[in-house]
Amino acid sequence: MASQRGEGETTATPLEPADRERARAIPEAAVARLAVYLRVLSGMADQGVTAVSSEELSQAAGVNAAKLRKDLSYIGSYGTRGVGYDVEVLVSHIERILGLTRNHSVAVVGIGNLGHALANYGGFPGRGFPVTALFDVDADLIGVPVGGIPVSHIDDITAVCLEREVSIGVIATPPPAAQSVCDRLVSAGVQCILNFAPVVLQVPDNVEVRKVDLAVEMQILSFHVARRADEAASVSAGIVSAGNNGLGVDGMVIRP
Amino acid sequence: MASQRGEGETTATPLEPADRERARAIPEAAVARLAVYLRVLSGMADQGVTAVSSEELSQAAGVNAAKLRKDLSYIGSYGTRGVGYDVEVLVSHIERILGLTRNHSVAVVGIGNLGHALANYGGFPGRGFPVTALFDVDADLIGVPVGGIPVSHIDDITAVCLEREVSIGVIATPPPAAQSVCDRLVSAGVQCILNFAPVVLQVPDNVEVRKVDLAVEMQILSFHVARRADEAASVSAGIVSAGNNGLGVDGMVIRP
DNA sequence: TACCGCTTGTGAACGCATGCACAAAGTCGG
DNA sequence: CCGACTTTGTGCATGCGTTCACAAGCGGTA
């Protein structure tokens, strides 16, 4: 772990003390939205847009305008009253806060269907996240290049991750292997993990895990399908909920 | 509340009037967790476990025990004080509330890397979500079976979706195509959409959209990497935040 | 320069979700 | 049958996040 990391100010990512305290205070939900704003803003910049108001940007991002302004205020005051925000300025500040000024090397573990898809994503979404290592257990895969990177054996995970300074590990293995893979990533010094396996990972406090769970997403949708179907049944039976929340009682269009 | 009124039990998905009102009231966050509990419980059932306490289950699911009990209370009182919960009973009640008693036919649009991976997921995570239709624009793909299902042309989306009673649409197209595909799905009567494209979709109120955004996930992780690196820098430079919020001043373990 | 209209930034209220703490309710042993 | 122990279900307080509403501030205009 004796790489560039240690000596604070000499490295890249120069975050001012004021920004540092701000970064600490940004709510997780706001961080997620900042990433969305960034994408929208980048798109605007590509189209030659130079300035934008909170109203326009919030619509494009699908959020409330006040919320957007508050989110932006977490990272500082970079707007101009009466005018709006400068797109370039906003982009660069959000990138800085999100730590996108530095590259984050990514390792994908588990080169099945999903692993292939991830490895081939090419430059990885939004760039700045180069995939530099792939791992699997299958002997037939070892050494085979996928998306330009040869697959390594999972037993070499520590050495390879350290060597290539992997900062984000992506777990795309079958469920039973996930915890073990996670442990290995952690002992290789990886502190951020994106988990696609439908498993609740146990990790030390200093490791950040985010999970993408297809089954859960599907089931949440299923819940809504069921709720809708059920409401429709109620309506067709002439039942109307007495305790209606104030969402507007207008006849929501429901197909027979 | 006048919950007795429910005379309309003639349709499928027999949700009691009492349950119906409960379903309406379950917080979204709790729904997501219920899906997780369900998976953990299913695993336990497979291993022959018949009873479980909130403490055990909450640990396995990685949540607070009180929160778990509250979540379960949203769907009714199916535990036994002094004993715990019957695994089978809990499983069946959660499945019922999540609408998993009925199959939800899934259509995948965009058969690129990700689309392939999704189509091949086989029975789809957690079963109950059969993929019954695939769509793309690429002429070379039309008719080719992927994961056992032949790919249809996207222009046939309305007819095919209606015919196969698709209730969930999955968008795995490149960003520029996403909104158009979404519109077509909606006009085909699909009311639930899972969106993998990094685009903010505009939909009518009666359509439920969930989005899985890799770029956003990566950037959130990046934010945490940056924050950590920065904290480490602060510590090594002997800087300690003065205006600390009351989170506890204990020295959080940070590796050198 | 002084005014006017527009948009930001934020204080304050509200609402939802989380976590605590305890009464209710059940089991088990004697 | 009773009392001790265990675990659920939930009222309540706390904290976080969202939303509203408005003062502050800036550019444009006369």
| A134 strand-pairing partners | A108, A151
Burial tier of A237 (Cβ tally within 10 Å: 0-12, 13-18, 19+): middle
Taking the CA of residue A156 and the nearest CA in chain B, the distance in Å comes to 23
Nearest to A5 among B2, B40, B229 (CB): B229
By C-alpha distance, which of B192, B198, B109 is closest to A219? B192
**Number of other residues whose CB lies within 10 A of the CB of residue B79:** 19
| Residue B190, both tokens | 């699909």
Taking the CA of residue A103 and the nearest CA in chain B, the distance in Å comes to 9
Residue B206 CA to residue B189 CA, distance in Å, equals 10
Residue A198 CA to residue A203 CA, distance in Å, equals 15
pLDDT given for residue B148 in this prediction: 92
Topology of domain B17-97 in CATH is: Arc Repressor Mutant, subunit A (1.10.10)
By C-alpha distance, which of B134, B199, B49, B37 is closest to A219? B37
Q: What's the pLDDT tens digit per position in A20-39?
A: 656 668 999 999 999 999 99
Q: What share of chain B is helix, strand, coil (3-state, %, to 5)?
A: 45, 15, 40
| Residue A127, both tokens | 């760039």
Mean pLDDT for the stretch of residues A43-63: 96
- The distance (Å) linking the CA of A57 with the C1' of D9 is 45
- The distance (Å) linking the CA of B81 with the C1' of C23 is 12
Higher pLDDT pick, A56 / A23: A56
> Within a 13 Å sphere around the CA of B56, how many CA atoms are in the beta-carbon half?
13
Q: What's the pLDDT tens digit per position in A186-212?
A: 999 999 999 999 999 999 989 999 999
Residues with CB under 7 A from strand C: A 53-55, 65-66, 69-70, 72-73, 77-85; B 27-30, 63-64, 66-67, 69-70, 80-83
Q: What is the CATH number of domain A106-212?
A: 3.40.50.720
pLDDT at B99 over 70: yes
By C-alpha distance, which of B186, B237, B196 is closest to B216? B196
pLDDT given for residue A122 in this prediction: 63
- pLDDT band, very low/low/confident/very high, at A241 (cuts 50, 70, 90): very low
Q: Which range (A27-41, B24-38, B109-123, B212-226) has the least confidence? A: B109-123
Helix (H, G, I), strand (E, B) or coil at B52: strand
pLDDT given for residue B177 in this prediction: 97
pLDDT at B88 over 50: yes
pLDDT given for residue B143 in this prediction: 97
Instruction: Domain B106-214: state its class.
Output: alpha beta
Contact A219 B35 (CB under 8 A): yes
Q: What is the mean pLDDT of chain B?
A: 84
Contact B219 A60 (CB under 8 A): no
Q: Right CATH number for A8-97 from 1.10.10.10, 1.10.3720.10, 3.40.50.720, 3.40.50.1820?
A: 1.10.10.10
Q: Which chain D nucleotides are covered by protein, judged by CB under 7 A?
A: 5-11, 15-21, 24-27
pLDDT at B235 over 80: no
Residue B128: left (phi > 0), alpha (psi -120 to 50), or beta? left
Domain positions in chain A: 8-97, 106-212, 217-256
Q: What is the mean pLDDT of chain A?
A: 85
Contact A104 B222 (CB under 8 A): yes
pLDDT given for residue B9 in this prediction: 32
Phi first, then psi: give them for residue B234, nearest 5 degrees: -60, -50
Counting one residue from chain A and one from chain B, the pairs whose CB atoms sit within 8 A come to 262
Q: What's the pLDDT tens digit per position in A142-163?
A: 999 999 999 999 999 999 999 9
Asked if residues A231 and A245 have their Cβ atoms less than 8 Å apart, the reply is no
Q: How far is CA B42 from the centre of its chain?
A: 16
By C-alpha distance, which of A83, A91, A99 is closest to A36? A91
Mean pLDDT for the stretch of residues A39-44: 96
Residue A156 CA to residue A185 CA, distance in Å, equals 11
Residue B166 CA to residue A199 CA, distance in Å, equals 28
Q: What's the pLDDT tens digit per position in A124-141?
A: 655 789 999 999 999 999
pLDDT given for residue A110 in this prediction: 97
Mean pLDDT for the stretch of residues A27-54: 96
pLDDT given for residue A207 in this prediction: 94
**Distances in Å between the alpha carbon of B235 and those of B150, B226, B240, B249?**
58, 14, 7, 13
| A169 strand-pairing partners | A107, A193
